Amino acid sequence: MRLRHLLLATALCGVSGGCATRVVEPPLLRPTRPAAASVPIAERPMPEKIVKAETEWREELTPDQYRVLRRAGTEAPFSGALWNHHEDGVYQCAACGQPLFDSRTKFDSGTGWPSFWQPVGSNRVAEKTDGSLGMRRTEVLCSACDSHLGHVFPDGPAPTGLRYCINSVSLDFANRTEAAGE
């Protein structure tokens, strides 16, 4: 197939000395790669670690986002944009865009914070023991950029029994179509 194209290109080189023939690679010879949209989020490789100076984060994020994401703050319950949000899609890290939680795992915990029973992939979040406020809790962070998301508690619904209690301000929502195209 390729040989035939090369022979054709050679034959078309005129006697004038200029060879203007372009050999176009036949489509079948191009490597085929599945589109990103066809790979479930949970099976996609984790993005590379994102490391930025605190001054950069401070410039990029709103003051509320910076206080929660980079200073492990907590928004007031029932105050965020997403605790009562019910659209179909994916919740991403507001600092770096990594997909974190699927709306299909969101449930109404009655706490006033967005609550999920599992992340989109176990490698999407990191957990750290948090002994602040005189309590022993498990902090949840974005695994790509180490931003604070919230906490995880062992009092969630089936099938995991976990409750990821996440600040709205730590999340951006992308509907199913937007999320699949990324």
Q: Which of the residues are catalytic?
A: 165
Q: Which of 61, 72, 90, 96 binds Zn ion (CB under 5 A)?
A: 96
Instruction: Pick between residue 95 and residue 162 the one whose CB is nearest to Zn ion.
Output: 95
Ranges within 108-137 binding Zn ion (CB under 5 A): none
Piece of 20-28, 72-80, 118-126, 143-151 that binds Zn ion (CB under 5 A): 143-151
Residue 104 DSSP SS3: helix
Work out how close the CB of 154 gets to Zn ion at its nearest, in angstroms, rounded to a whole number.
24
Q: Which of 61, 72, 82, 93 binds Zn ion (CB under 5 A)?
A: 93
**DSSP label at residue 69:** I
Number of H helices, E strands in the chain: 4, 9
Contact 162, 84 (CB under 8 A): no
Examine residue 61 and tell whether it contacts Zn ion (CB under 5 A): no
User: Does a cis peptide bond (omega within 30 degrees of 0) precede residue 159?
Assistant: yes
Contact 95, 149 (CB under 8 A): no
Examine residue 142 and tell whether it contacts Zn ion (CB under 5 A): yes
From residue 85, alpha-carbon distances to 54, 91, 162, 172, 181 in Å are 30, 11, 20, 11, 21
Q: Which of 41, 72, 82, 95 binds Zn ion (CB under 5 A)?
A: 95
Measured CA to CA, the distance from residue 124 to residue 121 in angstroms comes to 5
Instruction: Pick between residue 93 and residue 162 the one whose CB is nearest to Zn ion.
Output: 93
Scan for tokens 């372009």, then name that residue: 22
Examine residue 145 and tell whether it contacts Zn ion (CB under 5 A): yes
Work out how close the CB of 12 gets to Zn ion at its nearest, in angstroms, rounded to a whole number.
54
Tell me which residues touch Zn ion (CB under 5 A). Answer: 93, 95-96, 98, 142, 144-145, 147
